[in-house]
RNA sequence: GGGCACUUAGCUCAGCUGGUUAGAGCGUACGCCUCACACGCGUAAGGUCGCAGGUUCAAAUCCUGCAGUGCCCACCA
């Protein structure tokens, strides 16, 4: 007999247990497959971890994915699958560069002060530190991933496959370089893809400006704009061709104020008549729509804002001013020249850099793009064929819509942190001024051609030049390599055994917020590279918000830090707190309060263990179950008392529920069932019954212990540390020393369907109802002393289980109808009648009210039931089973009603 | 402008392949330190499942409309 601590102390177990798991090596599927070599047709299960960005600590968003994936992984492992959960971290191109640049800024430095090489060196140190920290945190959370396969997106080994895919796309004509209007972040000094910009509604102003006509300088055409500073780059005024107001002006020339350039008035369908004045200034270099118009009409492009967000030399007196300074100056000047008509308040939708929040400037620039339509088509096909299923389903529609309208993807970035583009130039001719400036590239001659190469080339394939080869200084969008993560981590390039065994992976579990960024691109690139979908299921989880449903953010101060929660309440408490009461794809709320609640459950289970392990026979029983594989249920030939039958039936139902809900990815519901079983059934009833001193006590302890042991295995994925801790205490008490004997890889004992019987549930529920109502009576009348309870029943179920009832209540139980000398309160439960002799404590008025209410309630129920059963359509169309049970119910209700009526009459007589 | 979701007890949320008296946790009230657990035990109060129609023998669950809330996508000066 051992005595465990009164409360579960996670700090004593968690770290130690994780080290046991790691030491045993069972996270590594190779280890398991060695154990099981004899078994044929091994099934494989794999999850590739969405690699956290290696630039900060883990937050709740990470914790949720760790827990969900760990539950899936552990469940698969228990079921005997060859299971791989492959961990990794992401260098996270722009996100990390911005984070590190913020650090540099604290020292008053920019990346250009360090230079490219030094920057990369320091940023790598920063990233590796974070990476190490994250890996430690994943272990604290209990992630059962295979560390021997740990991957980092910037591992040199990933360059070859990523470059191979780039070259293949290039050779297939799917990657191209083009001068285009792109999103430019002047803070990050790079282009961004459309997904990396976020629109925000902001209050701004709409300025109405007069442009004088060349023919008649006293006449004007007025335009409305939110960005007056861009007028320096105007190359036309456009109106809608159907706009009669401007009919006479079309084709005329205006003098662009401030710079005195002549520009034409043209027409274009894109201009809306009812906005502003109906005339729009066209600035092709700094507005996407204007760019379209300019292309159609062959207008010249005048770049007026340079890549630093400063007015260029073409802006004459405004040159070198920052955008916003220029705006003020220009407005002032226009006002002085009487060219500003008015300003209006205006709600604008303004694009910001997702990472640094800087306002995005549309710019024309030469960049690398991937042609997406052909890739998207195949992804759509695969989704339609259900080769990949998305959970929850509704995201299919969202995915289709996005894939259908997909735009080409700009994959080059002017960042330093990332994988450099595998494009080489013979001589510097094709590089932009900016590229040369930012990367200190000297002008060289060469033949001027470009080529893609997987390995670093020594000579130019076109002219044989050896000395002038320059690699494109730009890096790849971080999502380009992330998009290849599922197959590259498994060794696609070498057709490695892992790739053969684990690809396509089973589940991709991630947040819906990166559905387009990542999931869609993995689908497209996966199919492109391997001709197979990268995963069979996509499971999407929602955002984790605070208890009020608000987004967590440092500035709001409502961040709940997962690691401090683990420290306070344990990793399992946090795990359950995050997954309970959640549905796939739904946002969930977390609060310390909720975690305290789940910690209490953990402690409850711990104490059940404490109780079981403290009984004098525990060591022998556990030894028999765990070591000698004794099945106490079989030993007794499945012939137990009602309570044991009942709890076994409930337990087997729990197993079925778990199977079902885990297969459906309904983790929240699955956990609900666990909670209900262990607390409301096992602890509240069976554990109490195990304490009864009678002939059956040893048997009940055996059964209870066996159930608890099996429970630990079945629920291990939901509370891995606690269950393993309890199991290790079990081994301890049974004197088992084997450190490799871990719950982690035990097979859940099969469901014994024979033990599920509704009769047992029904009959045991009678006991529960009697106990509950008796307690209720004691409460209502504040009676703390035992009373006489007379029970009349049809069969002898309660009589046989008298001592069970007695263990829950103190009252004297007599199995016959009380004689008329007793004044009693009566209660009808199913076919059972209870009479409570409360001696002088009966409050007749109170009791009359109670009975009247009960009668009223019954009346209503009878009414609806009667209506249902007298409905011919119901009898005809409803399932027969249902009709039968409804009829029985009505009978019972009527019966109960009748009896209660007599009770009430009796009561009236007594009190009068 | 287009699309997707949500609206269930005081709070936070489950349930919705249609079928008992709609559930949980927290909170509230009352009573308990009962030898596994006060991170506990017992009892109770609390909901016409947003509104209005429809389908059906039967609707919280399916359909339509409306209202409110949230999110995503889209080039509107």
Subset of residues 656-695 in chain A with CB less than 7 angstroms from any atom in strand B: 666, 668-669, 672, 675-676, 679, 683-684, 687-688, 691
The pLDDT of residue A483: 95
Q: State mean pLDDT over A271-292.
A: 87
Share of chain A above pLDDT 90, in %: 44
pTM, 2 dp: 0.91
* A7 CA vs B39 C1’ separation (Å): 8
Q: Helix, strand, or coil here: A415?
A: coil
Q: Which nucleotide is nearest to A784 (CA to C1')?
A: B31
- Higher model confidence: residue A508 or residue A260? A508
> Locate tokens 């980092």: which residue?
A152
| Strand B reaches within 7 A of the A226 CB | yes
The pLDDT of residue A422: 96
| Nucleotides of B strand lying within 7 Å of any protein CB atom | 3-5, 11-15, 19-21, 23-26, 30-31, 36-44, 56-58, 72-77
The pLDDT tens digits for A144-170 are 999 999 999 999 999 999 999 999 999
Q: Helix, strand, or coil here: A261?
A: strand
pLDDT band at A41 (very low <50, low <70, confident <90, very high): low
Q: Give the side-chain half-sphere CA count within 13 A for A377.
A: 3
Subset of residues 390-449 in chain A with CB less than 7 angstroms from any atom in strand B: 394, 397-398, 401-402, 405, 407
The pLDDT of residue A270: 83
Has residue A633 got a pLDDT over 80? no
| Strand B reaches within 7 A of the A772 CB | yes
From residue A725, alpha-carbon distances to A34, A116, A139, A322, A798 in Å are: 26, 50, 16, 63, 39
Q: State mean pLDDT over A596-615.
A: 93
Residue A804 · residue A816 · CB < 8 Å: no
Residue A556 · residue A550 · CB < 8 Å: yes
The pLDDT of residue A638: 64
Q: State mean pLDDT over A859-884.
A: 82
The pLDDT of residue A135: 96
pLDDT band at A256 (very low <50, low <70, confident <90, very high): confident
Cα–Cα dist A812/A802, whole Å:
10
Tokens of A84: 């791989």
The pLDDT of residue A571: 95
Q: State mean pLDDT over A520-544.
A: 94
| Strand B reaches within 7 A of the A614 CB | yes
The pLDDT of residue A34: 62
Q: State mean pLDDT over A108-135.
A: 94
* A401 CA vs B52 C1’ separation (Å): 32
ipTM of the complex: 0.93
The pLDDT tens digits for A182-233 are 999 988 899 999 989 888 888 888 899 999 888 887 888 889 899 999 998 8
Q: Give the side-chain half-sphere CA count within 13 A for A211.
A: 33
Cα–Cα dist A649/A677, whole Å:
11
* A385 CA vs B51 C1’ separation (Å): 40
Q: Which residue is nearest to nucleotide B77 (CA to C1')?
A: A225
Q: State mean pLDDT over A581-604.
A: 87
Q: Which nucleotide is nearest to A675 (CA to C1')?
A: B24
Q: Which nucleotide is nearest to A612 (CA to C1')?
A: B36
A129-133: long-range contacts, CB 8 A cutoff, minimum separation 24: A130/A54, A130/A55, A130/A56, A130/A57, A130/A89, A131/A54, A131/A89, A133/A57
Cα–Cα dist A270/A279, whole Å:
11
């Amino acid at each position: 007999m051992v005595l465990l601590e009164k409360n579960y102390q996670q700090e004593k177990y968690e770290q130690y247990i994780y080290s046991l798991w790691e030491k045993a090596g069972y996270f590594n599927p190779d280890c398991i497959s060695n154990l099981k070599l004899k078994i044929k047709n091994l099934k494989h299960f794999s999850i590739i971890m969405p690699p956290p960005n290696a630039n900060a600590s883990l937050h709740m968003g990470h914790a949720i994915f760790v827990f969900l994936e760990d539950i899936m992984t552990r469940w698969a492992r228990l079921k005997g699958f060859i299971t791989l959960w492959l961990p990794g971290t992401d260098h996270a191109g722009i996100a990390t560069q911005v984070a590190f640049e913020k650090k540099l800024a604290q020292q008053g430095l920019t990346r250009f002060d360090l230079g490219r090489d030094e920057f990369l060196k320091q940023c790598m140190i920063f990233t590796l530190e974070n990476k190490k920290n994250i890996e430690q945190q994943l272990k604290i959370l209990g992630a059962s991933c295979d560390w021997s396969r740990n991957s980092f997106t910037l591992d040199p080994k990933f360059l070859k496959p990523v470059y191979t895919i780039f070259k293949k796309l290039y050779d297939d004509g799917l990657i191209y370089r083009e001068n285009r209007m792109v999103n430019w972040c002047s803070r990050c000094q790079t282009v961004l893809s459309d997904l990396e910009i976020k629109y925000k509604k902001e209050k701004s102003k709409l300025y109405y400006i007069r442009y004088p006509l060349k023919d008649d300088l006293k006449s004007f055409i007025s335009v409305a704009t939110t960005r007056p500073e861009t007028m320096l780059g105007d190359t036309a005024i456009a109106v809608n061709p159907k706009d009669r107001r401007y009919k006479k002006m079309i084709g005329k020339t205006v003098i662009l104020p401030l710079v005195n350039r002549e520009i034409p008035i043209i027409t274009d369908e894109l201009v809306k008549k009812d906005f502003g004045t109906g005339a729009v200034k066209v600035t092709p270099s700094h507005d996407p729509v204007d760019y379209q118009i300019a292309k159609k009409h062959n207008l010249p492009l005048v770049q007026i804002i340079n890549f630093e967000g400063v007015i260029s030399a073409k802006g004459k007196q405004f040159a070198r001013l920052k955008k916003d300074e220029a705006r003020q100056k220009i407005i002032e000047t226009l006002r002085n020249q009487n060219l500003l008509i008015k300003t209006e308040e205006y709600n604008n939708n303004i694009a910001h850099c997702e990472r640094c929040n800087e306002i995005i400037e549309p710019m024309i620039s030469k960049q690398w793009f991937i042609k997406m339509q052909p890739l998207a088509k195949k992804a759509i096909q695969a989704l339609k064929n259900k080769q990949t299923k998305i959970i929850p389903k509704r995201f299919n529609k969202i995915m289709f819509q996005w894939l259908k309208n997909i735009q080409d993807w700009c994959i080059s970035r002017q960042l330093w942190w990332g994988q450099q583009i595998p494009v080489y130039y013979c001589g510097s001719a094709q590089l932009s001024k900016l590229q040369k400036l930012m990367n200190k590239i000297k002008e060289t001659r060469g033949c001027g051609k470009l080529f893609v190469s997987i390995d670093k080339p020594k000579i130019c394939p076109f002219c044989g030049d050896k000395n002038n080869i320059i690699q494109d200084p730009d890096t790849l969008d971080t999502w380009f390599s992330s998009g290849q993560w599922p197959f590259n981590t498994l060794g696609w390039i070498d057709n490695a055994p892992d790739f053969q065994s684990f690809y396509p992976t089973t589940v991709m579990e991630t947040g819906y917020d990166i559905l387009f960024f990542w999931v869609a691109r993995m689908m497209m690139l996966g199919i492109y590279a391997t001709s197979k979908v990268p995963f069979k299921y996509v499971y999407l989880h929602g955002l984790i918000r605070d208890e009020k449903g608000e987004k967590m953010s440092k500035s709001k101060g409502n961040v709940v830090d997962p690691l401090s929660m683990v420290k306070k309440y344990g990793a399992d408490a946090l795990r359950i707190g995050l997954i309970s009461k959640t549905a796939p794809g739904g946002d969930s709320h977390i609060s310390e309060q909720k975690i305290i609640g789940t910690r209490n459950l953990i402690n409850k289970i711990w104490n059940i263990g404490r109780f079981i392990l403290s009984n004098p026979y525990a060591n022998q029983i556990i030894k028999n179950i765990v070591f000698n594989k004794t099945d106490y249920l079989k030993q007794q030939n499945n012939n137990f008392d009602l309570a044991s039958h009942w709890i076994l039936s409930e337990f087997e139902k729990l197993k079925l529920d778990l199977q079902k809900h885990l297969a459906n990815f309904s983790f929240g519901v699955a956990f609900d069932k666990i909670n209900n079983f262990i607390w409301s059934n096992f602890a509240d009833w069976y554990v109490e019954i195990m304490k009864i001193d009678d002939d059956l006590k040893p048997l009940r302890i055996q059964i209870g212990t066996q159930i608890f042991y099996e429970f630990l295995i079945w629920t291990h994925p939901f509370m891995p540390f606690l269950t393993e801790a309890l199991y290790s205490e079990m081994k301890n008490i049974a004197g088992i020393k084997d450190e490799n004997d871990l719950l982690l890889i035990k097979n859940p004992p099969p469901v014994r369907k024979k033990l599920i019987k509704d009769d047992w549930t029904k009959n045991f529920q009678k006991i529960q109802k009697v106990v509950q109502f008796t307690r209720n009576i004691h409460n209502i009348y504040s009676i703390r002393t035992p009373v006489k309870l007379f029970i009349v029943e049809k069969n002898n179920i309660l009589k046989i289980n008298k001592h069970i009832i007695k263990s829950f209540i103190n009252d004297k139980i007599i199995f016959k109808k009380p004689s008329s000398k007793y004044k009693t309160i009566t209660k009808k439960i199913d076919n059972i009648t209870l009479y409570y002799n409360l001696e002088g404590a009966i409050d007749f008025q109170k009791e009359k009210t109670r009975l009247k209410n009960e009668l009223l309630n019954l009346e209503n129920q009878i009414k609806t039931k009667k209506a249902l059963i007298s409905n011919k359509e119901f009898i005809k169309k409803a399932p027969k089973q249902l009709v039968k049970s409804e009829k029985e119910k009505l009978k019972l209700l009527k019966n109960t009603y009748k009896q209660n009526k007599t009770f009430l009459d009796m009561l009236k007589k007594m009190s009068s």
